[in-house]
Amino acid sequence: MLCTLCQGMTLPSLVDLAKRDFRSGFFPNTDYYHHHTSFQELEKCAKETGCSLCRLFVGSFASAIHDATNPYWPVPETAGTGTVTATATGSPAPARLSMLDVARTLTNSDVRIALRSRHTAIGATLQYVDMFDLLAVRLGDRLELGDPLRVPDLLLVLRVPGDIQSATDYKTLKQSPPLVDGYRIGCTTPDDHLGSAGNFKLARSWLEDCSKHHKHCSTTAHTKLPPRLPTRVIDVTCTPANIVHAVDINAGRPDQGCAEYVALSHCWGRPPIKTLLKSTTMKKYTAGLPENDLPANFRDSITVTRNMGIPYLWIDSLCIIQDSVDDWRYESVRMGELYSRATFSLLAMAGDQSGAGILKATPPPVSPSVLVPFEGSGGPVSFDVSTIFQNSENLRQLSDSAPLSTRGWCLQEVVFSARILFFGAQQVYWFCTEGGYKSAESLPDGILYPHNKYPSMASAYFGEQSYPVPTGTAGATTEAILTDFYHFIESYAQRTLTFGTDKFPAVASFAQNVERALRKSSDNPVQHDYMAGVWSSDFRRGLLFCPDGIHAPHVKQAEEKDGLYRAPSWSWAVTDAPIIFLAAQTPLGGTPNPLNAQLVSWSSQLRDPNNAFGAVYSAQLVVRGRVCRLRMSATHFIGAYTWDKDNEVGSAWFDDRPTVGGTGKLLETASGNCIVFDGNMDDGGGEDTFLCTYFAPGSSPSTGEKKTVAPDIKDNEKQEYTLLMVDLGQADKEKGLTENQDDDSDDGTDVDEFDDDDDDFGDDEDWDMTEKLIHCLILREVSKDVYGRVGLLILDWKSRSRVDNWREQTMTLV
């Protein structure tokens, strides 16, 4: 039963209002549906008339805790929330208010309703909308964030009753009602029983639709044969499943060693997996796996593979001999080929350890829901309407923060997979190269799906040169491919590894395919050597990484779990902290400034001589470049309010956390960067010197007064550092700058005296602020002419003329 106001809220009227004023994530100023005149009237209607939708509104407010600081509808009330608990002093803590409690106190609480779209980005206009699947409910004029009476908009999701069980259903949903003026209304209802027949039917239909219609999603379309199998796989067609060798499958036939298979990607976690393939268990497991003793993830992956009609399954811990270093080395470098050739990859997104299970559903938060008939263009249409909270699961969220998304090894597994079947905690999802993403909710493309961060590396998704390249990826430039590599490493650096010394092996396949793609690119036919994570053809950019945070401390060999060497100081792999790469000052197609650092030679000792992209015992670079001196101030600006900005010339980031003098006590700072000043003495003699100091805001500890400070260039620590100028930019660009300045200068000013004012750069719009910088490494000498990286420094362009006077040195970086 619906009240008169709810009956008048038809789908055509709501869509018409959205067409007048729609910006994704924003409530319309005037073009909304006017519902009850106050929250009190809403409650009265719900109680007296029994209107199911009004009762849902009220129930939704009652089921959520109030949070005035949150811009979105908060998380649902959980066990213990809203109850009286003890504070630290032992006295009872006040119960938290619900949204209902606060709504009742509002003086202006007229009920306003509008359509919203989950799949569109914040601020998107109507042209980007494919589906309206939300009702937004606002009470009066929303108060500012943090106001104790602020009530966020209530969001209710519109779901078509019943669940989609085939790809045909997807196409039907796009072409038939519920449709209003070309806009789909409502998403579908996912089956939260992940192992249900309906979910398997849906997953099979996704695979079948892709196999029939997407030629680029099959890595073997050109061969007319099934994919070549990994060395060992699990045969799931028999009970119990057993380990088989690929060479024994279809022996003596043209398709020997070829068959459809699924590749599992999962978190090992804790406790340790007991059922591992070892030299001592090989004979037993080829006879039959102890299925009942396998971790839940493995049992469930066998179930999924069987239900998908695929005969073979690959699981790392059961298909790689775990006590054989040689077998691990052989297989680990082939991960890209293995996942790209699989019929599909099975990703256990939500489980943080092997015993978590893939098919163990986690029901969504309990929230009120009702079946509500709406008047549509062709008659009544019913939707299941329920609260949707800000922590509601979607594939974008899983890809950003699910347990599997924190695992370092998994990143390249995802990148290389042409097809993926994702299992979250509440629903299943699908991806294929041509068809993109799909979900059990039938959501359109948009922000609830992951973003492809490596478009120019699409050709490297396929593990062999003969594999087809997806449409639109041919001809990727060297610079674009390397940019994808740096973005990949930045994402990889956000993840964790059980063993830090796997830092190179866990991306070896990706690096191998980057090298293959670089050789294919025709725009820059130069040698691309992989030097412990840095490409010889773009070594300057590879050296110029900095913390994506405060610091990026180097992990010492003694700190590694296996006690092995990991990486040289100049490689991004030396740290477990998130890092980012600086934008290149010199594009690969440009002419490097002759003052830029030059690569003289390099060498590395590989742990596996057959894998140039894997772990190393040691690595070093020999470079030649301009250097000067850097000193650290002995007195840091702790408590200073500001500093002498006229003499500030740049910023520096030390990889390791700073200490106070030689005491070893950590220095607390406001951020990880130092302020850099001119460090030359008044006498003007000696080597060009810069001085850096840390800064922390606050009041002076002695006087409590805010003050402006300047560095004391004579007050510095004994430790001195060497600055190596790595990248100054392009020679032709600098020539243009010099000519522009010469043209503009009518007062005899030396053209080498570069000003930081934008006007001095004429009409050359390519010179933005990021290009008018000087990128340097901070080095510490470990022996004569041998240095280790300790940080990165960026100088403002006003220091450009000083670089000409820096001395030239050839040095070894370790």
pLDDT, tens only, 365-388: 667 788 999 887 777 889 999 988
DSSP per-residue string spanning 165-182: -SHHHHHHHHHSSSEETT
Mark residue 182 as left, alpha or beta (left: phi above 0; alpha: psi -120 to 50; beta: remaining). Answer: left
Number of CB atoms found within 10 A of residue 338's CB:
26
Alpha helices in 333-436 (DSSP H): 335-341, 395-401, 410-416
Whether 438 and 514 share a structural domain: no
Same domain, 525 and 383: no
400 and 383 in a common domain: no
Distances 38 to 71, 112, 472 between C-alpha atoms, Å: 22, 10, 55
For residue 774, being part of any structural domain is answered with yes
> Is 502 found in the same domain as 425?
no
Closest by CA position to 3, among listed 27, 40, 36, 37 = 36
Same domain for 252 and 144: no
Tell whether omega for the bond before 240 is within 30 degrees of 0, i.e. cis. Answer: yes
* Residue 632, token pair as written in the block: 């650290």
Separation CA 429–CA 438 (nearest Å): 6
Task: Judge whether 460 lies within some domain.
Answer: no
Same domain? For 381 and 397 the reply is no
The answer as to whether 178 is a domain residue is: no
- Checking 601-610 for CB contacts under 8 A at 24+ apart, the result is 602/529, 602/531, 602/536, 604/531, 604/532, 608/329, 608/333, 610/329, 610/333
The conformation of residue 183, written as its DSSP 8-state character, comes to E
**CA–CA gap between residue 292 and residue 269 (Å, rounded):** 19
| Residues 433 and 397 both lie in one domain | yes
pLDDT of residue 166: 59
Owner of token pair 């001095």: 760
In a domain, 176, yes or no: no
Q: How far apart are CA 322 and CA 344, in angstroms?
A: 24
Distance CA 354, CA 372 (A): 42
pLDDT tens sequence across 678-716: 888 665 567 899 988 887 655 455 555 556 667 777 777
Rounded Cα gap, residues 548 and 572, in angstroms: 12
3-state secondary structure 635-654: CCEECCCEECHHHEEEEEEE
Tell me if 185 sits within 8 A of 158, measured CB to CB.
yes
Q: Which residue has the tokens 């329920």?
A: 386
- Other Cβ atoms closer than 10 A to 705: 9
Cβ atoms of 125 and 179 within 8 Å: the answer is no
Q: Are 448 and 442 in contact (CB under 8 A)?
A: no
- Residue 84 inside a domain? The answer is no
- Identify whether 295 is preceded by a cis peptide bond (ω within 30 of 0): no
Phi, psi of 619 (to 5 degrees): -160, 145
539, burial (CB in 10 Å: exposed 0-12, middle 13-18, buried 19+): buried
Q: Does 525 lie in the same domain as 661?
A: yes
Q: By residue range, what is the domain housing residue 146?
A: 4-78+95-160+365-387
Rounded CA separation 512/416 (Å): 12
Both 142 and 203 in a single domain?
no
Amino acid identity, residue 128?
Answer: Y
Structure tokens at 208: 């079948």
Give me the pLDDT at residue 84, please: 35
Q: Does a cis peptide bond (omega within 30 degrees of 0) precede residue 271?
A: yes
**Amino acid 725: pLDDT:** 96
Q: Token pair for residue 572? A: 């991004």
Q: How far apart are CA 550 and CA 169, in angstroms?
A: 50
Q: What is the pLDDT of residue 661?
A: 63
Structural domain contains residue 192: no
Q: What is the pLDDT of residue 454?
A: 73
Show the beta-strand stretches assigned E in 659-715: 673-678, 689-693, 695-696, 708-709
Instruction: Return d(Cα 681, Cα 669) in angstroms, integer.
Output: 27
Spatial neighbors of 366 by CB under 8 A, at least 6 apart, are 76
Distances (CA, A) of 679 to 549, 682, 685: 27, 9, 12
Whether residues 632 and 725 share a domain: the answer is yes
Q: How many domains does the chain have?
A: 3
Residue 165 lies in a domain: no
Do residues 369 and 400 share a domain? Answer: no
CA–chain centroid gap for 781, Å, is: 36
Which pLDDT score, from 0 to 100, does residue 571 have? Answer: 98
183 lies in some domain: no
Find the farthest-apart pair of alpha carbons in the chain and give their distance in angstroms, rounded: 91
Residues in the chain, pLDDT under 70: 75-95, 163-177, 219-224, 363-366, 453, 455-475, 522-525, 638-642, 660-664, 668-670, 681-685, 696-709, 731-771
Residues 223 and 100 in one domain: no
